Amino acid sequence: VEYVLEIPEGQSEEVALRLTELRARERIEIVRERNGRTVDLKPYLGETRLDAGRLWFTLHVRPEGTGRPEELCAALGLDPTAMRPRLMKLRTHLHRPASVRGSRGRGRR
């Protein structure tokens, strides 16, 4: 899922530094508010690009779960609630798993 986040004025450099730090980590552990479970955001974080005061990023959806844009905001030191009006979902890519792709037409005659 692709998103773009408008970074508050004057915070782009700080967000760029935090993003670099996050990308360098082996794990990006966050605690989910609803269930208190600790989740590693790193496997879900795809491409990231900071350009002209906007953060463009992709969060992967996997069988075991996904990351949430609010969680990335929090990991970057941004208030997720304040960022909600600045966040836009751009597109969702749907991919058929290899096991489904490879079975097309099998068993039919």
First-to-final CA distance of the chain: 37
Residue-by-residue pLDDT tens, the chain, 109 positions: 999 999 999 999 999 999 999 999 999 999 988 888 999 999 999 999 999 999 999 999 998 889 999 999 999 999 999 999 999 999 998 777 666 555 555 544 4
Task: Provide the b/e sequence for 3-27 (b: ≥16 CB within 10 Å).
Answer: bbbebeeeebeebeeebeebeeeee
pLDDT score, position 108: 47
pTM of the model as a whole: 0.81
pLDDT of residue 35: 87
Give CA separation, 23 vs 26, 52, 84, 92, 106, in Å.
Answer: 8, 20, 22, 22, 42
Distance CA 104, CA 36 (A): 41
Tell me what pLDDT residue 109 has: 45
Q: Quick one: 66 exposed, middle or buried, by C-beta within 10 A (0-12, 13-18, 19+)?
A: middle
Map tokens 């082996």 to a residue. 26
